[in-house]
Structure 1
Amino acid sequence: MPGPVFLRGDRVTLRPPEDEDLDFLQRNHNDPDVRRSMPRVHPQNREATREEYVEGYDESVGLLICDGEAGDTERLGFCALFAIDGDSGRAEVGAWLAPDAEGQGYATEALSLLVDYAFDERRLDRLNAGRLATNDRSAALLDRVGFVEEGRRREYYYVGGEHVDRVEYGLLASEWDDG
């Protein structure tokens, strides 16, 4: 039985990951197609997956992206609000989808729900995001949600045998238009 829904959209729901989600999370964390879009270089066993995705979100908010039309049981990906600095009112966001869920608008809706939560319920003022300069899908997602490109960290990651820049994005609460 899946865990309780935390945020609900038109097509997706976001819920905390449970042990029953570990196979999905580990399979996708290790998938070369998913890993290529993130700075992930180490394989992850089941225990490391549990530590990162189920136990590793005490202060942060890690949520499984599920298909709301499939009774909240079809897992699509993962998103997180992390590095939360309540004093300064800022946090980081990130998301990934399983390869077969890409290109269908799920990430846009999930990230929008997470941004709503961050600004409306957590009363944050700023969200940061980063992407590999080679990840055009993330660039399009961040643009669709309203993030603004703010800079670049040159040769920040080592991915696929080469150094890759990190492109930095930001979104202010005053810029957010969720309607």
Structure 2
Amino acid sequence: MPGPVFLRGDRVTLRPPEDEDLDFLQRNHNDPAVRRSMPRVHPQNREATREEYVEGGDGTVGLLVCDGDGANPDRLGFCALFDIERTSGRGEVGAWLAPEARGEGHATEALSLLVDYAFAERRLERLNAGRLATNGRSAALLDRLGFVAEGRRRGYYFVGGERVDRVEYGLLGDEWDGA
């Protein structure tokens, strides 16, 4: 039985991951199509997957992206609000989707729900996001949500045998229009 819904949109729901989600999370975390869009180079076994995605820690809000909220909704991906700094009122967001769930607007809705939560319920004033310079899907997603490209860290990651820049984005609470 899936865990309780934490955030609900029109087409997706976000809920805390449970042990029953480990196969989905581990399979996608290790999938080259998902892994190459993020700076992930190490394979992850079941225990490491549980530690990262189910146990979380350090105040991270990690949520499974699901299609709808029926008794057994399809798992689509994962999103997180992390590196929360209460003193300065900022945090960072990130998301990934399984390859078969891409291109249908699920990431846009999921991250929009998470951004709403960060600004409205957590009362953060700024969100950061980063992406590989080679990840055009993430660029389009962040642009759709109103994030502003603020800088570039040259040669920041080593992915697929080459150095890749990291593009830094920011979004202020008073700029958020609920995209």
Alignment TM class, shorter chain as reference: over 0.9
1:92 matched to 2:89? The reply is no
Q: Is the 8 A contact 1:65 1:79 kept in 2?
A: yes
* Stretch moving more, 165-174 or 55-64: 55-64
Q: Which residue of 1 aligns with 2:151?
A: 151
1:9-158 pair list within 5 angstroms: 9-68=9-68, 70-71=70-71, 73-158=73-158
Q: Taking structure 2 as the reference length, what is the TM-score of the superposition?
A: 0.98
1:44-100 deviation per Cα after TM superposition (whole angstroms, max 9, x unaligned): 000000000001235110000000165452100000000000110000000000000
> What SS class does the counterpart of residue 104 from structure 1 fall into?
coil
Structure 1, unmatched stretches of 5+, are: none
Amino acid at match of 2:64: L
Structure 2, unmatched stretches of 5+, are: none
Distance (Å, rounded) in 2 between the aligned partners of 1:175 and 1:17: 30
Identity of aligned residues (%): 82
Once the two structures are TM-superposed, the CA of residue 160 in structure 1 deviates from its matched residue by 0.2
How many pairs were matched up?
A: 179
Q: Is the 8 A contact 2:5 2:69 kept in 1?
A: no
Please tell me the root mean square deviation across aligned C-alpha atoms, in Å: 1.0
Q: 1:51 to 1:69 in 2, by over 3 A?
A: closer
Amino acid at match of 1:134: T
> What SS class does the counterpart of residue 114 from structure 1 fall into?
helix
> What SS class does the counterpart of residue 104 from structure 2 fall into?
coil
> What SS class does the counterpart of residue 166 from structure 1 fall into?
strand
Q: Is the 8 A contact 1:112 1:178 kept in 2?
A: yes
Q: Taking structure 1 as the reference length, what is the TM-score of the superposition?
A: 0.98
Distance (Å, rounded) in 2 between the aligned partners of 1:108 and 1:174: 19
Q: 1:57 to 1:73 in 2, by over 3 A?
A: farther
Distance (Å, rounded) in 2 between the aligned partners of 1:17 and 1:127: 23
Distance (Å, rounded) in 2 between the aligned partners of 1:72 and 1:141: 27
Q: 1:142 to 1:24 in 2, by over 3 A?
A: same
Amino acid at match of 1:90: R
Q: Is the 8 A contact 1:66 1:72 kept in 2?
A: no
1:4-52 deviation per Cα after TM superposition (whole angstroms, max 9, x unaligned): 0000000000000000000000000000000010000000000000000
